Chains A and B, each alone.
Chain A
Amino acid sequence: MEFARVVGNVVATRKEEKVRGRKFLVLQPVNLDMKPSGSVKVGVDAVGAGEGELVLFATGSTARQTHLTENRPTDCVIMAIVDSVDVKNERVYDKAEEERSE
């Protein structure tokens, strides 16, 4: 899994029947410094993520392992919302702290 910021959503009126009713979010992958890394992706939301949140996403056939995406044409799913990240015993991300400073 990788980290990403939710930076937007995608609206598509005409889409494959099997992905109807799914929420598509635009993801900007980030590295451990929380800086953008790599190109933007679109993922199906399985956890109720919102814009600006730091999330984890899984790609490939793994993305079909939720009840929302089972046997459906998806290759990227948001499967967790991140509360905190610790690297080498140092906190590099804290959602509560981020919300306080906003």
Chain B
Amino acid sequence: MKPGRVIGRVVCSQKYPDFKGERFLLVQPTDWKKNDRGEPIVCTDAVGAGYEEFVFYIESREAGLALGEKEPPSDASICGIIDGVDMEDEVWK
């Protein structure tokens, strides 16, 4: 799981049928201190995340598992909204 921030949304009326009812959100990957890392990606949303929220997402085949039995072809899904992160500072040195 990786941290990121929701920065926008993508609307697709034509999508693979298993995605019915799913939302596509733009996520800017960050580190656990909310600093931007790399290029934004598109994620499906399994938790109802909102704009500017700090979230964590999963990538690869498992992303589809977060979206119910149909397991649509999503390779990135938001799986949680982060309230806070507690970590020892040594980790960042």
Binding site for B on A (CB under 8 A): 1-3, 31-32, 37, 46-48, 56, 58-66, 69, 77, 79-89, 92
Contact = CB atoms under 8 A, between A and B. Distances in A.
Specify the main secondary structure of chain B where it touches its partner: mixed
Given A1-B75, A62-B61, A62-B63, A81 B14 contact: yes
A1 B44 CA distance: 9
Range, interface on chain B: 20 to 34
- 9 closest cross-chain pairs (CB), A and B: A80-B15, A65-B73, A87-B8, A80-B12, A62-B75, A1-B42, A61-B61, A58-B75, A81-B14
B16 A80 contact: yes
A65 B8 CA distance: 26
Interface of B: 7-16, 18-19, 24, 26, 39-43, 51, 60-61, 63-64, 71-76
Nearest to B26: A87
Nearest to B22: A80
B16 A85 contact: no
A80 B73 CA distance: 10
A79 B16 contact: yes
B19 A84 contact: no
A44 to B, nearest CB: 10
Contact of B15 (A32, A59, A65, A81): A81
